[in-house]
Amino acid sequence: MSVEQLPEPVKAGRPKAAEAEARLNDLMDTAGRLILEKGYSKVSLEAIAREARVAVRTIYVKFGGKAGLLKAILLRYRANTFDPLTLDAPNRPIRDTLLEFGLRFHSMVSTPAATALYQIVVAEAHANPDLAEAFWDAGPRQTREQLARYFARPEISAQFETDAPPDRLAIYFTNCLMGDQLRRFLFESRCGVATTPQEIEQGIDLFLRGVMKR
């Protein structure tokens, strides 16, 4: 082999952006799996760091701690569900927009992992307020704010008969959409929820009949 054919030496230094992102994703995958397997309070940052092969300091620098790590996991999961955003399309019928949103929302909250996490939050939130706050900030609050922004758009609110504020409409809508899912989260041992597209449509139509101008 000639000198010209020798491979380029590997340069030491910081990992490339793609490599760094892959490591963070692997860290979040590992943390999510351990939390679902053992519970939030029973998984230490040391255990997560050891299995993900990172330094504990890395978790603190990137996420601020275990609650911040969980929040990042949930926000990533949410972004994957709602990418591209379903509420931003202009000149689209309200029902079509809300139906797509509802189907995506149910695909997000009805998985076995989502059910298991909800049960963990209910069981451990009192002893771990940071868990409750992280779950609320990355989950229900994001949904309500996303819907409230949509309902506040002038061309959307002009079609409503109600004078309820957008944030209240977001609560009404999610209540119609969820149905008895919270009961299933709490009292059914099996994971997952068998909510049909027809049931989602019924909930959306119930909401629209209550708010739309005749």
Which domains, and CATH codes, for the chain?
14-66 (1.10.10.60), 75-211 (1.10.357.10)
Cα–Cα distance between 141 and 75 in angstroms, integer? 11
Only one residue has tokens 């860290």, namely 27
CA-wise closest residue to 212 among 162, 175, 176, 154: 162
Encode the chain (214 residues) as per-residue pLDDT tens digits. 444 444 444 445 555 888 889 999 999 999 999 999 999 999 999 999 999 999 999 999 999 999 999 999 999 999 999 887 778 888 899 999 999 999 999 889 888 899 899 999 999 999 999 999 999 999 999 999 999 999 999 999 999 999 999 999 999 999 998 877 666 666 665 544 457 889 899 999 999 999 999 8
**What is the reported pLDDT for 17?**
84
Cα–Cα distance between 202 and 99 in angstroms, integer? 10
Cα–Cα distance between 35 and 42 in angstroms, integer? 8
**What is the reported pLDDT for 109?**
87
Which residues does residue 212 pair with via DSSP β-bridges, in sequence order? 160
**What is the reported pLDDT for 8?**
47
3-state secondary structure (DSSP) of residue 212: strand
**What is the reported pLDDT for 183?**
66
Which long-range contacts link 179-183 to residues 24+ away (Cβ below 8 Å)?
A: 179/203, 181/109, 181/110
**What is the reported pLDDT for 112?**
86
**What is the reported pLDDT for 111?**
86
